[in-house]
Amino acid sequence: MKYNVVVVGGGPAGLGAAVEAKRNGANTVLIIERDRELGGILNQCIHNGFGLHEFKEELTGPEYAHRFIEMAKEEKIDYMLNTMVLNINEDKTIETLGEDGLIDIEADAIVLAMGCRERTRGAIDIPGYRPAGVYNAGAAQRLSNMEGYMVGKEIVIYGSGDIGLIMARRMTLEGAKVKAVVEVNPHSSGLTRNIVQCLDDFEIPLKLSTGISYIHGKQRVEGVTINKLDENRNPIEGTEEFIKCDTVLLSVGLIPENELSVDAGVNLDMKTNGPIVNNTMTTNIDGVFACGNVVHVHDLVDFVTQESKIAGKNAALYCLNKSQKNPTVSTVASEGIGYIVPQNIDPQSEEDINLFMRVRSVYSNKKLVVKCEDKVILEKKRIHMIPSEMERIKISKDLLKNITGSISVSVEEA
* 131 lies in the same domain as 114: no
Mean pLDDT of the chain: 94
Question: Of 228, 252, 276, which residue sits at a domain end?
Answer: 252
Q: How many domains are there within the chain?
A: 3
Q: Is 122 helix (H, G, I), strand (E, B) or coil?
A: helix
On whether both 97 and 208 belong to a single domain, the answer is no
Can you say how many angstroms the Cα of residue 117 is from the centroid of all Cα atoms in its chain?
A: 9
**Are 78 and 178 part of one and the same domain?**
no
Q: How far apart are the first and last CA of the chain?
A: 56
Spatial distance between the Cα atoms of 368 and 356, rounded to a whole number of angstroms: 12
Residue 327: is its pLDDT beyond 80? no
pLDDT given for residue 220 in this prediction: 97
Give yes or no: residues 242 and 129 share one domain.
yes
Q: Are residues 242 and 346 in the same domain?
A: no
For residues 153 and 58, state if they share a domain.
no
* Cα dihedral 12, 17, 19, 21 in deg (nearest 10): 180
The whole-angstrom separation of Cα 336 and Cα 357 is 11
Residues 60 and 30 both lie in one domain: yes
**Are 261 and 112 found together in one domain?**
yes
Look at residue 349 in the predicted model and tell me its pLDDT.
86
Distance, in Å, from the CA atom of 14 to the CA atom of 29, rounded to the nearest integer, reads: 11
How many CB atoms neighbour CB 407 within 10 A?
Answer: 25
> How confident is the model over 297-316, as pLDDT tens digits?
998 999 999 999 999 999 99
Q: Which residues of 192-215 are buried (b: 16+ CB within 10 A; e: fewer)?
A: eebbebbbeeeebebbebbbbbeb
The CATH number that applies at residue 175 is 3.50.50.60
pTM here?
Answer: 0.93
For residue 299, the enclosing domain spans: 1-118+253-325
Q: Considering 252, 271, 305, which residue would you say is the last residue of a domain?
A: 252
Residue 97: φ, ψ to 5°: -130, 120
Position 124 confidence tier, pLDDT thresholds 50, 70, 90:
confident
- Final residue of a structural domain among 325, 343, 360: 325
Cα gap 133→114, rounded to integer Å: 28
Is the domain of 197 the same as that of 242?
yes
Measure the CA–CA gap between 137 and 151, rounded to whole angstroms.
10
Of 69, 62, 70, the closest CA to residue 43 belongs to 62
pLDDT tens-digit profile of 361-381? 999 999 999 999 889 999 999
The verdict on 74 and 220 lying in the same domain is no
The pLDDT score that the predictor gives to residue 353 is 93
pLDDT of residue 350: 86
Q: What is the pLDDT of residues 250-277, one digit of tens each?
A: 999 899 999 999 999 999 999 999 999 9
pLDDT for the residue numbered 311: 97
Q: What is the CATH number of the domain that holds 360?
A: 2.60.40
What is the average per-residue pLDDT within 320-332?
80
Indicate if 186 and 80 belong to the same structural domain: no
Q: What's the confidence (pLDDT) of residue 325?
A: 66
Neighbours of 3 (CB within 10 A): 23
pLDDT for the residue numbered 326? 67
Instruction: Identify the top-confidence range among 191-200, 220-229, 326-335.
Output: 220-229
Tell me the residue length of the chain. 414
